[in-house]
Amino acid sequence: MPSPYRAVFTAPGTLKFSAAGLLGRMPLSMMGIGIMTMVSEITGRYGLAGTLSGTLALSAAVLGPQVSRLVDRHGQRRILRPVTLVALAAVAGLLICAQQGLPDWTLFVFAAVAGCIPSVGAMTRARWASIYEGSPRELHTAYSVESVVDEVCFIFGPIISIGLSTMWFPEAGPLLAAGFLAVGVWWLTAQRETEPAPHPAEQHSGGSALRSPGLQVLMAAFVATGAIFGAVDVVTVAFADEAGNKSASSLVLAVYALGSCLAGAVFGLLHLKGAPSRRWVVGVCAMAVSMIPLQLAGSLPFLAVALFVAGLAIAPTMVTTMALVEAHVPRSKLTEGMSWTSTGLAVGVSLGSAAAGWVVEAHGAAAGYAVPGVAGVLAAAVAFLGYARLREPAPTREGHREQALQEPAAPEPLDRPGQRERPDDRSEHPDGSGRPEERHLA
């Protein structure tokens, strides 16, 4: 392991919660595509399958930030375990209804409830932010680790989920995803020593984290970005099906994630200076341009190469996004802020998967790649229009600092498990974040 990665794992407990986060995030790549494959296998209806998968993503977009907001106030263990039990019960109901051939509306009801699946990625990133607060280089590397973990999930998740649902029984993929969720969340919440301290309700003045103008831009762009991901998943499965090798779609999607994984691993080794907002705009535009070759796909090998190249822009853009969220959102609302970016992705996945499903049914799989192409153009437009907001000082975070400067903070115990003593030159502000001009987080 390269030294920057080895260094971030020297803090106690980091390897354990990162491993738990890997298991808990497997449903991120398995559940939606598993439900879509299950329904298409049972009914042969891609429109229904895509819309149902989109419903799950849309529900997660609505419920996810609310769950994370409760986590910020009450702690991960107190909130995540009961919420996960509700999500698991809903997934079980969905599988039973699909297997028994019950009316379509029952599938949508359970899919909507299952949307309360917690954002495990936001939980692990919040732990990294708590440990390496005020250490931008280490936090950049830690966020790169999280991006690589995300892509590992997307490499193996679709392969496992689609493979099980097509070669064993249709419900197998979502069923295993539920098992990963249960094990991952219980293991993560059992690790109390690295759990970020909750922030009581009185520290949450100013309303939602979404009031930050910078976060609004990031979320809006991620709606279009999510539409790219959702549409690519649906169309790729249909494209492989038309080619007579539906199970190969899992391998093609894994190549897409592999490109992102490799790019994220390299990006974590770099310590880039300059404005993260500028790199973020470049990354979003690169994702948009990478959709052009997909319009020319005529075979699965060509499609795999095109998706690998497209994947190279994903992880660096995601890492930079997390750095911008950390810069624009108060510490007491960080988990919620990170969840809002996931919400943008989830809304986009919902819209993209539904649109792609209907286009595939009406015009065929090859025409379906126009959907992620259009979504890429919209993402680039939002990035350009919102660039000025990302360059401005973050008023929400600055206001948080002013309040902290006026109110003397209680001394923080140095022997708190999982927390390091910080150098004096990083404590200019009570929240330990340093001056805005010193925050080269990506």
Domain ranges (residues) in the chain: 3-196+209-394
* Residue 23, pLDDT above cutoff 50: yes
CA 98: distance to chain centroid?
Answer: 27
Query: What is the torsion angle, in degrees rounded to the nearest 10, for the CA atoms of residue 422, residue 425, residue 431 and residue 433?
Result: -100
Residue 158: name the closest of 230, 78, 64, 75 by CA: 230
Residue 381: per-residue pLDDT:
92
Whether pLDDT at 428 is above 80: no
pLDDT of the residue at 181: 93
How far apart, in whole angstroms, are the C-alpha atoms of residue 107 and residue 224?
26
Give the type of residue at 233.
D
Q: Give the tens place of pLDDT for each residue, 252-274.
A: 888 888 888 888 888 877 777 76
Task: For residues 324-353, give the mean pLDDT.
Answer: 76
Q: Which two tokens stand for residue 424?
A: 């004096």
Q: Tell me how far apart the alpha carbons of residues 123 and 261 are, in angstroms, rounded to a whole number.
A: 20
How far is Cα 132 from Cα 252, in angstroms, rounded to an integer? Answer: 36
pLDDT at 288: 92
Q: Is the pLDDT of residue 122 over 60?
A: yes
Which of 428 and 336 is assigned the larger pLDDT?
Answer: 336
pLDDT in tens, 70-87: 888 888 888 999 999 999
Alpha-carbon dihedral angle through residues 134, 138, 143, 148, given to the nearest 10 degrees: -170
The dihedral through the CA atoms of 352, 335, 157, 58 has a sign that is: negative
Residue 398 has pLDDT above 70, yes or no: no
Is the distance from CB of 120 to CB of 184 less than 8 angstroms?
yes
Sorting pLDDT into bands at 50, 70 and 90, what band is 410?
very low
The stretch 290-297 carries a mean pLDDT of: 89
pTM for the model? 0.69
Question: Which numeric CATH code is attached to 3-196+209-394?
Answer: 1.20.1250.20
The closest of 213, 221, 235, 232 to 347, measured between CA atoms, is 221
DSSP 100-132: HT--HHHHHHHHHHGGG---HHHHHHHHHHHHT
Pick 42 or 306 by higher pLDDT.
Answer: 306
Segment 51-75, tens digit of pLDDT: 887 788 778 878 878 888 888 888 8
